[in-house]
Amino acid sequence: MSSYLELKNIAKSFNTEKGKKIALKDINLQIKKNEFLTILGPSGCGKSTLLKIIAGFIKSEKGKLLKNEQLIEDSGLDRIMLFQEFEQLFSWQTVIDNISFAVKASAKNKNIKLTKRQIKEKSLKYLNEVKLKSYQDYYPHQLSGGMKQRVALARTLAAEGEIMLMDEPFGSVDSQTRQELQQLLAQLWQEEDKTIIFVTHDIREAVFLSERIVLMKNEPGEIIELVDNKLPHPRKRSSREFNQLFEQLQTRLQN
Ligand SMILES: Nc1ncnc2c1ncn2[C@@H]1O[C@H](COP(=O)(O)OP(=O)(O)OP(=O)(O)O)[C@@H](O)[C@H]1O
């Protein structure tokens, strides 16, 4: 596969009370189309900052970001971000209206006119993918945290961006729900043509989900290694190979 997204010498520092903090130092990375890439590293190593630079929400101090060899300087509907917080849905809209919002935005972006019925059908399709069709008329406050994340995931899919940027999206749910959401995401990634860049500090999550893992370190935030994950799907958390890779990554992050 050829390089699709390319990060060249990305860097970012912040002025803090304790002085200048180098959040990211010379990040070079090539991401393939339809790849599931995880950025894994300890708290504060710059994972979220890197994701926000790819999203175009903050600017790198130097270097450049390329997509298909074209310079990217701003945010765009080709890159859709999903956050950890439960409160990212529009609280005043029902579940189906939250999804329809993204369906309409995507159609507008592509200059496509959709009828009300087509919008509803499309929205229900995405809601069905996260198995929440029967909750279409609920408001976000009537849902559990895990269900809100499912709706947020459906809304991200409905925006039909090529690239999904996920910042610890399952970080706030209980461990069983987290495993269910990981399962769902792994399945959706295999069904849809999407490039996913997923941030986590959970090694098992990275091993379960991704095809390639970017290991980062702190002070300053830098890439220390790129690890291929060729474990076949569906991945078994109890398998010897799964746990071998887990231990390899754990050891690497500790040193
Ligand atoms: N707006 C900001 N102002 C000052 N410092 C910031 C800002 N954003 C991030 N930082 C600092 O930059 C470093 C990297 O932050 P970032 O949130 O990218 O790390 P992270 O790896 O995503 O951490 P976590 O896993 O805890 O979310 C941290 O030291 C953080 O305190």
- The rounded Å distance from CA 46 to ligand 1 centre is 6
What would the two tokens of residue 10 be?
């990305």
Pocket test for ligand 1, best of 10, 49, 201 (most atoms within 8 A of CB): 49
Query: Residues 68-117: pLDDT tens digits?
Result: 999 999 999 899 998 888 788 999 999 999 999 999 999 999 999 999 99
pLDDT of 49 higher than 60: yes
Q: What is the pLDDT of residue 96?
A: 97
CA of 5 to the centre of ligand 1 (A): 23
Is the distance from CB of 6 to CB of 70 less than 8 angstroms? Answer: no
Omega of the bond leading into 232 within 30 degrees of 0 (cis): no
Q: Give the model confidence (pLDDT) of 135-169 as tens digits.
A: 999 999 999 999 999 999 999 999 999 999 999 99
The model's pTM is 0.93
| Residue whose token pair is 């910042």 | 167
Does the domain at 5-78+162-254 match CATH 3.30.390.30? Answer given as no
Spell out the domain ranges in the chain: 5-78+162-254, 89-160
Share of the chain above pLDDT 70, in %: 99
Atom 18 in ligand 1: residue holding the nearest Cα: 46
Residue 58 pLDDT grade (very low, low, confident, very high; cuts 50, 70, 90): very high
Q: What is the pLDDT of residue 19?
A: 87
What is the chain's Cα-based Rg?
A: 18
